[in-house]
Amino acid sequence: MHQLNKMTSTELQEFLTRQKNSTRFIFTMIHVDETKEEVTLKNDSDSNTFLKNNPEASFELKEASELI
């Protein structure tokens, strides 16, 4: 079953392209070996490169914040 807050790297890339550049998202990144780490991503080239370099990972949304 697909969870709303869990995405593949490809799904996350598409999701981020629809977001404002000023919105920052914190995700739990789950590696293939089931290890986890917290990452912060947003709609920018650095995040896009990061996701392309981690195609096998999945991501669970923890938090979103908008810069004011």
Task: Give the H or E element holding residue 65.
Answer: strand 58-66
Residues, the chain, total? 68
DSSP 3-state assignment of 52? helix
Assigned domain for 51 exists: yes
- The percent of residues in the chain predicted with pLDDT above 90, rounded, is 90
Assigned domain for 23 exists: yes
Assigned domain for 1 exists: no
Task: Give the H or E element holding residue 29.
Answer: strand 23-30
- The percent of residues in the chain predicted with pLDDT above 70, rounded, is 94
Domain tally, the chain: 1
Output the CA–CA distances (angstroms, integers) from residue 10 to 7, 66, 67, 68, in the order listed.
Answer: 8, 23, 25, 28
Note down the domain range covering 40: 6-66
pLDDT, tens digit (0-9, with 9 covering 90-100), for 7-33: 999 999 999 999 999 999 999 999 999
Q: What is the mean pLDDT of residues 51-60?
A: 97
Mean pLDDT of the chain: 93
